Amino acid sequence: MKYALAQEHRIGMRETNQDYTGHDATAEALLLIVADGMGGYFGGELAAEIAVGSVLHSFGKEAQPQLAEPDIFLERAFARAHLAIQRYAAERELPQVPRTVIVACVVQAGHAWWNHVGDARLYLVRDGRIEAKTRDHTQVQLLVDAGEIPPEQAYSHPESTRMLQSLGSPSTPVPGPGANAQLQKDDILLLCSDGFWGPLRTGQLLRGLEGPSLRQCILELSDIAERRAGSHGDNLSVLAMQWQDQELSLGDGSATRPESRKADAAGGSQHSESGNG
């Protein structure tokens, strides 16, 4: 396993941060996660924290040292996380079930497998091009697909907070469809909340990843996202991995809830709901 890892978390212009990120690794497998709690419902930060913790726990049990079926693992891990959020709310008689969107990726045997629920995104960047990215589970994405608005307007559209999928929603979320790719040297996998991807144009994102230091690239892109978002800046979280020759170690698995995290929105899988991130 040869890779570099970088991450950044910022609170933006929000009073609270509802993002949560996590990673874990064995000698033969790597897990990356970004969860974006739903700000329009009670306890979005709780949902994000529970979801990341649940997926990390599943990875720790099943990656021995590889996962038998990474794509199936992600689907089942999301389902367990969804139930864990609902169970947490029921046991504590919370006024609402917290909700979160999530994106996760497994890297093993030179391949990457990923899946998501909601509008937390994954990008696969190769040779200055976006080779793959997740498709948002949002009402706005349906408008983009129908050709009613250009992709550049998705983040600022009035319906941008209406999700079609979330963990913790009354209806069972249906992830994906999942995807996978064989990795090439210097490929970058970028997992992020919409506070990061929303303000950035595709060209800015690609140019920002051209530097020699992944950490510095992520810092500078986060600066650009914050400046472009201005007074409407959301919490921002990004977790990036660059496939490379030099062996690097993450150490023990960890989840991160730093001072800067992010509030966002998600909703049920069969109908759209809105939240204020």
CB-based contact 235:21 (threshold 8 Å): no
Please indicate, yes or no, if residue 267 is contained in any of the structural domains: no
Amino acid type, 141:
Q
Please indicate, yes or no, if residue 41 is contained in any of the structural domains: yes
Cis peptide bond prior to 70, omega within 30° of 0: no
**pTM, two decimal places:** 0.86
What range does the domain containing 252 cover?
Answer: 3-256
What tokens does 149 get? 């608005």
Q: What's the domain count of the chain? A: 1
CB atoms within 10 A of CB 275: 21
CATH code of the domain covering residue 206: 3.60.40.10
The values of phi and psi at residue 198, to 5°, are -60, -50
How many angstroms separate the CA atoms of 34 and 253, rounded?
14
What tokens does 131 get? 């080779």
pLDDT tens across the length of the chain (277 residues): 899 999 999 976 677 888 999 999 999 999 999 999 987 678 899 999 999 999 999 999 999 999 999 999 999 999 999 999 999 999 999 999 999 999 999 999 999 999 999 999 999 999 999 999 999 998 888 888 888 888 777 767 777 677 899 999 999 999 978 899 999 999 999 999 999 999 999 999 999 999 989 999 999 999 999 999 888 767 899 999 999 844 444 434 455 543 333 333 322 222 233 333 3
CB-based contact 54:161 (threshold 8 Å): no
